[in-house]
Chain A
């Protein structure tokens, strides 16, 4: 079971809701993924198009918990105001906190992130910060009151997988009791399995499923990869070694002569 801010979930896969080819493919992909948590955002509403009203109707039909993000915010002040608007609109204290530093990498601004996290926690929010693998930033986020951390694997939408696996392993070792969810940068189910094999608690992704040729099938593939990776972690993976070790018993090998063994 995945526990985030006292809430328990069967699924360890969290899904973004953007970029799907159609509303029905989004709904079917969420179902196929088994995800119980989906991320949403808020954007300026036009009085003519009223786009948001239709989208909300779609989300309400699904039996999922929403995790509003602060995507696109460039300062702590913007992120805090956006989080407050999201809390009222979506009726949840949860926020996926994003403070973005750079348009090319969409990397988190760790200084703004820590500042906004502290302010939001003090205001009663339950903050799930989108961060990097940086250990000192993680420490400050935990000190600010975050009880979940969401480091990236690679830049958002880049599909590159775990580009700093050693640092993600260090983060896992350093925070054994904090739920860690890799958020962003995964492209293939094998990436998700790799994350889970490291002992991470969950995976949050969007583009890799939404932009797949068949998003529904890809959602199922990711769900299986996350489950498989988790099972493998629980089972305990063997340690790699440099040299071969025979799996078939050596004793009793036919034609074996001890003086010919190397």
Chain B
């Protein structure tokens, strides 16, 4: 299935958001997620299925003003 991951086209067969994060090596990482513009809390990632053309954001802390 093709999704959009952090603004770029990405092919994956991960069934859930949690699985996608784990495959990217983010299982223990300090990240936060959103699907199609809506925040998805960490506890709900396993129950969040991925669908074709979903827009996924995975963010982490960064310098800011």
Contacts and interface: CB of A to CB of B under 8 A. Distances in A.
B65 A85 contact: no
B34 A69 contact: no
Given A43-B59, A88-B41, A53 B30 contact: yes
Interface string A8-28: 000000001111100000100
Contacts, number: 108
A67 B7 CA distance: 26
A193 B39 CA distance: 40
Interface in A14-66: 16-20, 26, 39-47, 50-53, 55-56, 59
B26 A45 contact: yes
A178 interface: no
Nearest to A206: B65
A52 B32 CA distance: 11
A50 B7 CA distance: 17
Interface in A73-110: 77-78, 81, 84-86, 88-90
A41 B63 contact: yes
A44 B6 contact: yes
Query: Which 3 residue pairs of A and B lie closest in terms of their CB atoms, listed nearest first?
Result: A52-B60, A41-B64, A16-B65
Interface of A: 16-20, 26, 39-47, 50-53, 55-56, 59, 68-69, 71, 77-78, 81, 84-86, 88-90, 156, 184, 206-207
Nearest to B43: A88
B33 interface: yes
Contacts of B26: 45, 47
B24 to A, nearest CB: 4
A85 B59 contact: yes
B63 to A, nearest CB: 4
Nearest to B7: A44
B22 to A, nearest CB: 11
B18 to A, nearest CB: 14
Given A19-B65, A56-B60, 15 more contacts: A18-B63, A18-B65, A26-B63, A40-B63, A41-B61, A43-B60, A44-B7, A45-B59, A50-B29, A53-B30, A55-B62, A55-B63, A56-B61, A85-B33, A85-B59
Contact of A42 (B24, B32, B37): B32
Given A44-B6, A44-B7, A45-B29, A51 B62 contact: yes
A26 B65 CA distance: 12
Interface in B11-32: 24-26, 29-32
A47 B29 CA distance: 10
A156 B39 CA distance: 28
Contact of B32 (A39, A59, A86): A86
